[in-house]
Amino acid sequence: MEIEKLFDIKGKVALVTGGSRGIGEMITAGFLANGVKVYISARKAPALIEKANELSKKYNQECIPIPCDISSMEGITELSKKLAEHEEGIDFLVNNAGAAWGESYESFSEAGWDKVMDLNVKSLFFLTQKMKALLLKRTSLEDPSRVINIGSIDGLNVPALPTFSYSASKAAVHHLTRVMAAELVSENILVNAIAPGPYPSNMLGAAVNHDYSEIEKRNPRKRVGTPEDIAGLAIFLCSRAGSYTVGETITSDGGIVKTASHNLS
């Protein structure tokens, strides 16, 4: 029951997609700070390599970049092959890579629809499928492998912005998490999702000119999320403490989904 054992993830191996910035970087930092060897992937190789070097030095722990575009099956296959060249097995897969698209209802484009649905839903499913063999290598009944899918509260609420494919994709992620959890739990791979609310990121920042003050005022907790908030939740899900939690979508939003209507009344 000691906290060091309940939340111990030292010596594990993880892959975090979209791990060079935003929520992916926050989760990666939390893993590295607690002794996990982390592979990170993203499309932009120079930024990814620079971030991996920066995090490796900061936490004195291996952070290894694998530049890859997982929006296509070719990219997914390439990533799985490259990772298999480095590791016989992995313990954690964090499906964080994602895209958003905002456009009016009348002019919303097929390109915006397909880009978001392909990366946020299709790629998540097929990357997990390709990674199953690596996740099985190190798993056991006592210490199962973990998959964390990053959803969004926009998949639970009706979003304020015209991001039709994004909110639909994140609702799909939440339900796909339950379906995948049912498929994989018998093989000691536990699948859960996190639905973040507002966190500092390029995606949210672009929508508010990186001024989070209004978002903070409207949030029940009067702030946006911090790295500790999201990393702590990921560590819980990947540790002994979270090993009986299966198929859940856990919000990390300061109370927006569950209490916002009360706070506005």
Q: Are 77 and 136 in contact (CB under 8 A)?
A: no
pTM of the model: 0.95
Q: Where residue 212 falls among pLDDT bands split at 50, 70, 90?
A: confident
59 pLDDT band, cuts 50/70/90, is very high
Total domains present in the chain: 1
Tell me the per-residue pLDDT of 71-97, one tens digit each, with 9 for 90 and over.
Answer: 999 999 999 999 999 999 999 999 999
Among 51-60, 110-119, 195-204, 223-232, which is the least confidently predicted range? 195-204
CATH number at residue 213: 3.40.50.720
Please, what's the b/e burial string for 99-108 (b: 16 or more CB within 10 A of its CB; e: otherwise)? Answer: bbbebeeeeb
Q: How far apart are CA 62 and CA 137, in angstroms?
A: 20
Residues 6+ positions from 106 with CB-CB distance below 8 Å:
none
85 Cβ partners below 8 Å, 6+ apart?
Answer: none
Q: Is the pLDDT of residue 203 over 80?
A: no
**pLDDT tens-digit profile of 169-193?**
999 999 999 999 999 999 999 999 9
* pLDDT of res. 210: 73
Dist CA 80 CA 225 (whole Å): 31
Residue span of the structural domain in which 226 resides: 3-264
Name the band, by pLDDT with cuts 50, 70 and 90, for residue 265: very low
Average of per-residue pLDDT across 201-219? 78
User: pLDDT at residue 264 above 60?
Assistant: no
Give the chain's mean pLDDT: 95
DSSP summary character for residue 122 = I
Locus of tokens 């111990």: 8
Structure tokens at 236: 């819980």
Active site includes 166?
A: yes
For the chain, percent of residues with pLDDT exceeding 70: 95
| 102-159 pLDDT tens trace | 999 999 999 999 999 999 999 999 999 999 999 999 999 999 999 999 999 999 999 9
3-state secondary structure of 45: helix
Structure tokens, 39: 């592979």
From 39, 59, 105, 166, the catalytic residue: 166
CA distance 134 to 125: 15
